[in-house]
Amino acid sequence: MYSARLWSVRHARSLRTLYELFSRWASAFAPLARLLGLERLEKILRPIERSAKSLLFDCRMCGQCVLSATGMACPMNCAKEMRNGPCGGVRADGNCEVQPTLRCAWVEATTGAKRIASDHLAHPTPLLPAIDQRRRGASSWIQAFQGRPDPAFQAPVGLRITPDAQQGPLERACHSGRFVVTVEVAPPDSADPGALLARAAKFEGLVDAINITDGAGGNCHMSSVAASAILVAHGHTPVYQVACRDRNRIAIQGDILGAAALGVQNILCLTGDDVSQGDHPQAKPVFDLDAVSLLHVARGMCDRGEYASGRKLQGPPDLFIGATANPFVPPYVDRIANLEKKIVAGARFIQTQFCFDLALFEEFMREVRHRDLHRRAHIIVGVGTLSSAKALGWMARHVPGVHVPSALLTRIEKAADQQAEAKSCCIETIWALAGIEGVAGVHVMGHKNEDVLAEIITECDLRRQTRLHTAYA
Ligand code: SF4
């Protein structure tokens, strides 16, 4: 079946033409279908559709087929069921983070999209809603017989502008025109908030916000929402990271409301690493939403004051919403389409994966500027350092989505003091990033390396600088 799936992507153009003919033909039969009875017709169609599509596409019968919009590659073959583009963990060879022997379903989808139209980036796939779990196993063809359109959702209506006086410190910093610095802190494996506060205290006065990871790497720690609330209570500005891996849309929306009620003003929406990478590989991954549908849900809560179900909120949250981007893994060119989708879905700031490859990042930023994306969201670039070339090499091999060029590894390896050299490389990267048009700031990361990170931020002293070229509309 896997080889048939790859064959379908190779023949995406002909299959798409066939699909369009089928849709036109089927919708012409809508009156007859109604006469026959849609329920009866679905019973007949379902087994035929299942056999034909599982043979050609390894179809999972999600009941909301989007093959025509995803290069004839079924996104339900993605281990995280991402419906709006690749996750940040795609391997350098284009294979899947979770199933390393298989091609990433979204690398295949972009290959198919290119075969259908060479200028596919000019009209990327529409934003797709979170899957309606009730429709699993149902026929999608029946929609064609009913003359229904593709299940694409609309961009959020009317963005609510937060008045200056109500903006949180991170949002104000992003709008101020000076260089922004955020830092990542992992919550502790402890019921005692002391360890968390000790880590946060190292960045007192040095950063604009502290990201609290949500089960990073699929490992269990104190919950991100609780750790964020603790930081608020102690005068810090947290970015509450929300991963889709562990909670469904009901739990996530409840947590977002709870976080806002506890004073959290910033959230970062991400899909999350798979459980297989963490300390509980036996856990059930959820992935009820993906990062893009989560952004849309969060934006709907803030702007329209309603849950994903449409039910009204009594008091909507007012959040500065961000998303992640990873320009350093395949499919490189299509990462822009994914970034644009996140911005359209509601992201107002973007934090990237570790940038160890400036050339690759500059290429990405050229396209960001070409599409004016840096004027629609604040681009904050991930940077960091590790203690040695060995540790950096380990991270490149084992942490999904991290790309470290061999030239950098060799430079650190050859140094007499590897830790000092790695730190110098990080500082050089930060200065180089500060000179790239469209870069709003840096997001400093490095697990259990807080002292060195604080030194780097102090030595760069970038928060005093006006952004060199950025203008945000
Ligand atoms: S690499 Fe990520 S997006 Fe691609 S198939 Fe695997 S889980 Fe899905």
Which ligand 1 atom sits closest to the C-alpha of 77?
5
| CATH class of segment(s) 164-464 | alpha beta
Q: How far is the CA of 306 from the centre of ligand 1 (A)?
A: 30
Which ligand 1 atom sits closest to the C-alpha of 91?
1
Q: Does ligand 1 lie within 6 Å of residue 88's CB atom? A: no
Take atom 8 of ligand 1 and give the residue whose Cα is closest: 78
Q: Does ligand 1 lie within 6 Å of residue 76's CB atom? A: no
Take atom 3 of ligand 1 and give the residue whose Cα is closest: 86
Substitution site in 99, 104, 111 for ligand 1 pocket (most atoms within 8 Å of beta carbon)? 104
Q: How far is the CA of 382 from the centre of ligand 1 (A)?
A: 21
Q: Does ligand 1 lie within 6 Å of residue 208's CB atom? A: no
Q: How far is the CA of 90 from the centre of ligand 1 (A)?
A: 6
Q: Does ligand 1 lie within 6 Å of residue 90's CB atom? A: yes
Take atom 6 of ligand 1 and give the residue whose Cα is closest: 96
What string of H, E and C letters represents the secondary structure of the chain?
A: CHHHHHHHHHCHHHHHHHHHHHHHHHHHCHHHHHHHCHHHHHHHHHHHHHHHHHHHHCCCCCCCCCHHHCCCCCHHHCCCCCCCCCCCCCCCCCECCCCCCCECHHHHHHHHHHHHCCCHHHCCCCCCCCCCHHHCCCCCHHHHHCCCCCCCCCCCCCCCCCCHHHCCHHHHHHHHCECEEEEEECCCCCCCCHHHHHHHHCCCCCCCEEEECCCHHHCCCCCHHHHHHHHHHCCCCEEEEEECCCCCHHHHHHHHHHHHHCCCCEEEEECCCCHHHCCCCCCCCCCCCCHHHHHHHHHHHHHHCECCCCCECCCCCCCEEEEEECCCCCCCCCHHHHHHHHHHHCCCEEEEEECCCHHHHHHHHHHHHHCCHHHCCEEEEEEECCCCHHHHHHHHHHCCCCCCCHHHHHHHHHCCCHHHHHHHHHHHHHHHHHCCCCEEEEEEECCCCHHHHHHHHHHHCHHHCECCCCCCC
Q: How far is the CA of 211 from the centre of ligand 1 (A)?
A: 24
Q: Does ligand 1 lie within 6 Å of residue 86's CB atom? A: yes
Q: How far is the CA of 94 from the centre of ligand 1 (A)?
A: 9
The domains of the chain are located at 2-145, 164-464
Tens of pLDDT along the chain (473 residues) come to 788 888 899 999 999 999 888 888 888 888 888 888 888 888 988 999 999 999 989 998 999 888 888 999 999 999 999 999 999 999 999 999 999 999 999 999 999 999 998 887 777 777 888 889 998 999 988 888 877 655 545 555 455 667 777 899 999 999 998 999 999 999 999 999 999 999 999 999 999 999 999 999 999 999 999 999 999 999 999 999 999 999 999 999 999 999 999 999 999 999 999 999 899 999 999 999 999 999 999 999 999 999 999 999 999 999 999 999 999 999 998 899 999 999 999 999 999 999 999 999 999 999 999 999 999 999 999 999 888 899 999 999 988 899 999 999 999 999 999 999 999 999 999 999 999 999 999 999 987 789 999 999 999 988 766 665 454 55
Q: Does ligand 1 lie within 6 Å of residue 97's CB atom? A: yes
Q: How far is the CA of 377 from the centre of ligand 1 (A)?
A: 25
